[in-house]
Structure 1
Amino acid sequence: MIKAIFFDIDGTLASFKTHQIPDSTFYTLNKLKDNGIKLFIATGRGKDGLDILQGFPFDGYITLNGQYCFTNDELIYENTIDSQDIQALLEYLKEKPFPCGFTEEHTKYFNMRNHLVDEIHAITHNDDHPARDCSQVIHKKIYQCMCFVDENEEKELLKVMPHCHASRWYPTFCDISPIGGSKQHGIDEFLKHYHIDLSQTMAFGDGGNDIPMLKHVAISVAMGNASDEVKSIADYITDDVDHDGILNACVHFQLCQKQE
């Protein structure tokens, strides 16, 4: 019996084409909630990127790929990047500059912006944050860094940030996060909080940063627009987000009925 479902946002709940959550998905979320299922967000977005949910009352939020997890009432878990790793990143940026977004609890800002950052904002509508002097981030609580590097430079970057790991869902950038936090870890924190067993869980995703989460839950669902890598590890592949993928999967697993 499924008691908890975890949803990625971009490409899963929200369409990359319309930048909105389809009506069929909101219908499904309401039906699942009526049926007593706990619903959770599991996203790379921060708190300032959740307006797209239109105030829907999820039971918990795994944000920043698991570094900041909270309910509507309390903080459940947080994990910040080690100050030594932040200092190493700042030194690296002096030698090999590239756009880098630094994420605090309520905001994000970039050391610089270029066409790569603008390209991502055109996809997510969530990365219009300003460029500014970032020298003081060493004194801030930084949960995640959005680094516009390729996979080879990502490996070099991680050599100077030993307490961090990287994940990516788009080829032009990766999210650098502290080791310990992940969507998978966020799931475990909420299962403990709500006294739910892992065998009673399901998750939906479409990107590479969703793979640990999808491997961890009892039933994993890949969206039709998911990458081949994500589809290869999923228990079920549904339709894409623009063709009622969430609704159709929940009907398939008999968690709700079709819209009348």
Structure 2
Amino acid sequence: MSKIVFFDIDGTLLDHEKNIPDSTKKAVELLKENGIYVAIATGRAPFMVENVRKMLGIDSFVSFNGSYVVFENKVIYKNPLHEAKEKELADLAASRGTPLVFMNEKTMKASVKFHPYIQESLATMKYTHPDFDPSFHLRHETYQDLLFCKEEEQKIYEERFPEFRFVRWHPYSMDVVPEGGSKAEGIRQLLSKLGFQLEDAFAFGDGLNDVEMIQAVGTGVAMGNAVDAVKAHADLITKDVAEGGVYYGLKELGLI
């Protein structure tokens, strides 16, 4: 029976300096040699994971927290944001002075020319402030927005827009995805369409948006550097990403 392993990127495939440890590169090669499928599961957009995918030779991924799924370079599932509701969200954000970044599979554009929250949040992923294009979402199908506000403002948007799910990943930023959207849902779509069994799916993660993924698959692995919520639901807690956590975890599972 085919097995598949899903990896988060930041804090899982990428270490604290945003580099791929040599042990992780070796682990991914060994998985492939053993006939095990390898996929990425990320909140990032497809264009943001190209370098990682190329370095590791990975052609399958769940992106935008489950809203855009690709298997071996073929799109198999898409769940874009509701166009009219996204416009309402953008209008409310603009009225409150809250910046947004609109994202599709190819690029991202900002609703404002510059904002320090955007700059600081994206810098943690080594991205610069996107170009200004406040009407991008009106001309393109988008799969995820980034909403930049402090945690105390989050409830305002959650109550106004039940059609969306707001997933905080930074003190100043949230992912905005369709309600019901998650890495777990993207994984379920992939497994269902390709005939994989849930018990033969494994996932490694470290952040809050990995909790559902860790719970959904047959075997969930928390990195040693994972937040407590991920560790609480994991079947295995491996070492820190900087200490060969991916390699060690796969060894413990008998996959390499």
In which range does the TM-score fall when normalised by the shorter chain?
Answer: over 0.9
Residue equivalent to 1:16? 16
What SS does structure 2 have at the residue aligned with 1:124?
coil
- SS of the residue aligned with 2:25? helix
**Residue 232 of structure 1: how far off its partner (Å):** 1.4
CA spacing shift, 1:29–1:251, aligned 2, 3 Å: same
Look up the equivalent residue of 2:19 and give its one-letter code: Q
- Per-residue CA deviations over 1:93-144 (Å, capped at 9, x if unaligned) read 222112211101200111133332222233211x324241313422321110
The number of aligned residues is: 254
Show structure 1 runs of 4+ deviating over 4 A: none
Letter in 2 for 1:38: Y
In structure 1, distance between residues paired with 2:224 and 2:58: 24
8 Å contact kept, 2:165–2:181? no
TM-score by length of 1: 0.91
- Residue 94 to residue 123, structure 1, CA distance change in 2 (3 Å): closer
Matching residue of 1:222: 222
2:62 aligns with 62
The offset of 1:45, in angstroms, is 0.9
Q: What are the equivalent positions in structure 2 for 1:28-39 lying under 5 Å apart?
A: 28-39=27-38
Q: Distance in 2 between matches of 1:41 and 1:214?
A: 13
Cα distance, 1:3 vs structure 2: 0.7
Aligned runs of 1:69-80 on 2, under 5 Å? 69-80=69-80
Residue aligning to 1:3: 3
Other structure's SS at 1:39 match: strand
User: Matches of 1:136 and 1:195 in 2, distance apart?
Assistant: 37
- Structure 2 gap ranges (5+): none
Structure 1: which 5+ residue stretches go unaligned? none
**Which stretch shifts more, 184-193 or 40-49?**
184-193
Displacement after TM superposition at 1:59 (Å): 4.6
**Alignment-derived partner of residue 157 in structure 1:** 157
Contact kept? 2:203, 2:217, Cα under 8 Å: yes
The separation in 2 between residues aligned to 1:197 and 1:72, in whole angstroms, is: 18
The 2-side partners of 1:145 and 1:185 are apart by 18
- The Cα RMSD (Å) is 1.7
Question: For 1:10-31, what per-residue CA distance to the aligned partner results, in whole angstroms no more than 9, with x for missing partners?
Answer: 11101232x1111110100010
Residue 93 of structure 2 corresponds to which residue in structure 1?
A: 93
Q: Verify: 1:120 aligned to 2:112, yes or no.
A: no
- Counterparts of 2:81 and 2:100, CA distance in 1: 14
